[in-house]
Amino acid sequence: MPLVSVVMPVYNSAATLGAAVRSVLTQTHGDLELLVTDDQSSDGSMDLLREFAAQDERVLPQSAPERGGAGRARNLAIERARGDYIAFLDSDDMWLPEKTEKQLAFAAEGDAPLTFTSYYKMDADYAGESTDWVPNGRVIRARPHVDYRAMLVQDHIGALTAMYDRNALGTRLMPEMRKRQDYALWLSIMRDGADARGLAEPLAVYRAHQAGSLSSNKMSLVKYNWSLYREHEELSVPRATRALAGAVMQSLRNSRI
């Protein structure tokens, strides 16, 4: 059975961290390690992680030497990974119990080094567990196939569902940008020739604002997307403009779900 290394950055996430960690530990595919990097939290997140580690040897927390942001925290976890696959989950989201098992089978069937799935959206104040989740109508649908050109128009991969084959792609770190590091990683993998395949079944749950809202945080991503297109991907101004328009439209559509 392949070992899956789950990468989780944490910063002052004590309120939601427990549900996120338990959603990993209750996976039907149990051959995994949860690599958590605490980015100098001040709310007791690290104490909670130590409690989990004492109860389950698969939980492997580590404190970042200094505040470095989510991208650096993820990379510190990836550098410790031993798994055949690298998967990602933030500390306020959840996986459904069969996520890892079904995604591994899907990746094997299609010989796909980068896979992702559909996912649900939940309200910010949801207080339940992944094992309690009742499917709702708020679903971000995964496209069956995404290549580099399609990804330039918009980011089709929800980071909480992404998983890459380390044996096929090697150890891939996220560019240490302030935001959009996950998008930059998917683009770099696809730029090197690997397409991504999407599993239609929703297998994760994303903590979001109420349907119909578009947070200021989403709007602030415009400048980070522009920087990504121009500096990281070195797109011309016309191509970067088209890509940015696609990213804005995607945020608007997703915010209505």
pLDDT of residue 218: 57
DSSP 20-49: HHHHHHT-SS--EEEEEEE-S-SSSHHHHH
pLDDT mean by block of 10 residues, the chain; 257 residues: 96 95 98 97 95 98 91 96 98 97 95 95 94 94 94 91 97 86 94 95 87 50 83 88 82 75
pLDDT of residue 75: 96
* Structural domains of the chain ordered from first start: 4-216 (3.90.550.10), 217-256 (no CATH)
3-class SS at 213? coil
pLDDT of residue 216: 46
pLDDT of residue 121: 95
pLDDT of residue 253: 76
pLDDT of residue 153: 83
Among 139, 140, 143, 84, CA closest to 115: 143
In the structure encoding, which two tokens stand for residue 177, read together? 């940008």
pLDDT of residue 214: 40
In the structure encoding, which two tokens stand for residue 222, read together? 């415009």
In the structure encoding, which two tokens stand for residue 55, read together? 């109860």
pLDDT of residue 60: 98
Among 188, 142, 180, CA closest to 164: 188
